[in-house]
Structure 1
């Protein structure tokens, strides 16, 4: 067991966690799992998040302060942003293509979709500020639907997906308020939020990672501009502390398989009380879940490896996935790019051969602003919800989704419940009911795990490509078994 590579150990932990969750739910031990096993998973995420902020701070300061040419920093930053935006646009575009071809919303019973459309039209009529449907249809005025119109006012929006709709209204309202607040802000609000009022306050929250990055860049540039004789003590402290943080990552990862077991067992135990209920949730939203899952898996196993093998001949398809797999499996189990960041940096530096100068700058930015999986999810979910309510979105509206989802992926880092909040903003941008986010709540957690794998793989891909373009890539011949 000790000789097994880390990624194999993590896979074993994942599988055993899922098996345990189903056994415990079958035997009625869910509460035991939630009370006595799940907390270890929470502890693991907390440790990783605690390390993430000082790691970002110290690694950026260390990398930037070592630059002899400060002008190179601006070039590197511009290249990073362009690469990340390009990958996000591709992810959203592929998601939209997929959802339009498969049309998962049309797999639901036709009569139910008609009822949904009537409910949507009633909602539009009650909200005069909402743009009218652009498909020039009116089910409210059509006599053949008169009975359904009369009953629609008192009916549930989704009888066939009751488990999806029965979500706390307070949560939807809270998300809607946050989305409205975000949408009504100045276009430059993103840049204002990037500058911290109190840097120690920024250190205390992972949601303020952009502020940490801003301070680290500013501090690192200042150190680079000063003579070494004056700042050598600071540089020695930063570099030494950075090495200590990286050693902490090594220590934590030795126990990762056990923590991953606890995480997966807890996630499934919280979803439903029995295995049948878990399966029922996925059956109700199966067409949507499978469509999104196909798109996410395409990005992980086709798009990113293809890009890497095209531009970096030393890395084969199999080698790329093998070398980044520890970060991928950890991303899957934690559902957090920030929590996975320490391991992503370790994989990219030691397994892929990216220099610390590049990884310490590009990866923290990517973990904050690059959300390929989240952006694809927003595009697929919005079009699915429109199909579910028989609303035909025009090409212009779908291009609006591309633009909104891309911008949302950059600005979502400082917003609580980022994915769902940005989903509401995207729904609003094309005139759809923001309360529809409640429909996809039941499967959101498990799909979020796959979205995070896409995000982390995208970060690793972009950092490797940038390192190659800057001459800062030295791919090692092999990866140690314990990595």
Structure 2
């Protein structure tokens, strides 16, 4: 018996996206300007719009969006605690851990600030003028001081119930640090959260497996009433995100590497090729960890004592590519739905996405769940994700390549600052050419 080759998740989502667009465009052709197509069936008239557009497509699409929102709190809380407890080695928790965390968060803040600035400059969502089926009213923006005060929950369980993600993130950080400093008792709790993380990742995997159907229904409904001019806006969104990713992955990282370590950015980028290609093909920072480790130690000269700590940590908390997508998508969706973002909203998105990157797992698809949280924080309709989800899947591979490049860059800077770095290996163009073969089939068994 021969096993039929199954389509990958990317292929299935692209199929769902294309099918949804074609079905929506076809229905728009049959029902222009919001009209209906009635088919008389004798005893009753069958409404295409009521049954499909406002029925099946809307119900399935809203269930999919609700599922995205459902996973936000448990995913961030559990993943963030797992990432924080990985700093429990006290010899690394202080100096090395502090350097790595600061650099990771700094690059993420730079990434999303640049991305939002570029999105405001290009304005990819201008002129679409869509409306949302979800009624939401803008509320008076709190002051920046009030935002920081409200980050700390008086009742963490209320924060969970209300989906206040800034408070959830702060509580998870504090709780994770307490676990890391609690000795054997903390080890037992950390082990429990590692198991919980596996379960949550399974939930993410289940959701991403039904994502093609959700994508189909969301896009079929959206494109039924979407004008042709919006296609140009979607293309603009794609290239704004792609351009921001390329600039951040090459220029930003190169400048930081040169300023903070003095190492050659050209040598660094050249030696990153294998890791970047593998990250691009898997769309998973976690699956790429073995390749990244081999690259920074065997090809670039970072000591394993540093790389074994900073690379897995970066796969957990360094999500610059995801932050860029969230920044551009937030501006794009706000422009599509004609929602003005204030300076406080702008800062809120930067702060929320930067902190949320700590809790974003290095597996495909999680960035969209984080985007749902960011949109909710500034009062934007979550169903706007349906506009970008198909294109986003195509950008996911590039985002992962950027994330892995950032992990490696920070590893080299920390290694150099700690005098745990071999210049001869870095300067040798043939270093690490014979990398030990790795069973690629088993790389992602713990990261689905």
Q: CA deviation at 1:187?
A: 3.2
Is it true that 1:287 corresponds to 2:236 in the alignment?
A: yes
Is it true that 1:424 corresponds to 2:372 in the alignment?
A: yes
Distance change in 2, residues 1:433/1:198 (3 Å): same
Q: CA deviation at 1:415?
A: 10
Which residue, out of 199, 205, 208, partners 2:191?
Answer: 199
Greater RCO (Cα-Cα under 8 Å, separation 6 or more): 1
State the partner residue of 1:36.
5
State the partner residue of 1:246.
none
Distance change in 2, residues 1:469/1:420 (3 Å): same
**Residues 207 and 414 in structure 1, CA contact (< 8 A), matched pair in contact too:** no
Is it true that 1:438 corresponds to 2:389 in the alignment?
A: no
Q: CA deviation at 1:299?
A: 1.2
The alignment partner of 2:94 has SS state of helix
1:12-68 deviations in whole A, cap 9, x for unaligned?
xxxxxxxxxxxxxxxxxxxx9x942657999xxxxxxxxxxxxx99xx89x96xxxx
Q: CA deviation at 1:71?
A: 4.6
**Residues 179 and 425 in structure 1, CA contact (< 8 A), matched pair in contact too:** no
CA distance in 1, matches of 2:331, 2:301: 40
Matches within 5 A, 1:71-82: 71=91, 73-82=93-102
The alignment partner of 1:80 has SS state of helix
For structure 2, list consecutive stretches of 5 or more residues without a partner in the other structure. 12-81, 143-159, 180-187, 202-211, 217-227, 436-448
State the partner residue of 1:47.
none
CA distance in 2, matches of 1:416, 1:189: 23
CA distance in 1, matches of 2:254, 2:373: 32
State the partner residue of 1:358.
306
Q: CA deviation at 1:380?
A: 0.7
Matches within 5 A, 1:4-153: 35-36=4-5, 38=7, 71=91, 73-106=93-126, 110=127, 112-113=128-129, 116=130, 119-120=131-132, 123=134, 126-127=135-136, 130-131=138-139
Q: CA deviation at 1:307?
A: 2.3
Q: CA deviation at 1:391?
A: 2.0
The alignment partner of 1:338 has SS state of coil
For structure 1, list consecutive stretches of 5 or more residues without a partner in the other structure. 1-31, 43-55, 65-69, 135-176, 210-267, 273-279
Which contiguous aligned blocks of 4+ residues in structure 1 show a shift greater than 6 angstroms? 39-42
State the partner residue of 2:56.
none
CA distance in 1, matches of 2:284, 2:9: 16
CA distance in 2, matches of 1:416, 1:181: 24
Matches within 5 A, 1:293-312: 293-312=242-261
State the partner residue of 2:163.
180
1:232-273 deviations in whole A, cap 9, x for unaligned?
xxxxxxxxxxxxxxxxxxxxxxxxxxxxxxxxxxxx9xx99x
1:305-349 deviations in whole A, cap 9, x for unaligned?
2322344445341x2112111111111111111111111011010
CA distance in 2, matches of 1:178, 1:431: 17
The alignment partner of 1:36 has SS state of coil
Distance change in 2, residues 1:471/1:480 (3 Å): closer
Distance change in 2, residues 1:184/1:404 (3 Å): closer
State the partner residue of 2:269.
321
Is it true that 1:386 corresponds to 2:355 in the alignment?
A: no
Q: CA deviation at 1:188?
A: 0.9
Is it true that 1:333 corresponds to 2:281 in the alignment?
A: yes
State the partner residue of 1:146.
none
Q: CA deviation at 1:418?
A: 2.9
Q: CA deviation at 1:399?
A: 1.0
Q: CA deviation at 1:420?
A: 1.5
Matches within 5 A, 1:366-381: 366-381=314-329
The alignment partner of 2:163 has SS state of helix
**Residues 348 and 354 in structure 1, CA contact (< 8 A), matched pair in contact too:** yes
**Residues 166 and 352 in structure 2, CA contact (< 8 A), matched pair in contact too:** no
State the partner residue of 2:357.
409
Distance change in 2, residues 1:398/1:186 (3 Å): closer
**Residues 281 and 397 in structure 2, CA contact (< 8 A), matched pair in contact too:** yes
CA distance in 1, matches of 2:328, 2:199: 25
State the partner residue of 1:13.
none
The alignment partner of 1:471 has SS state of coil
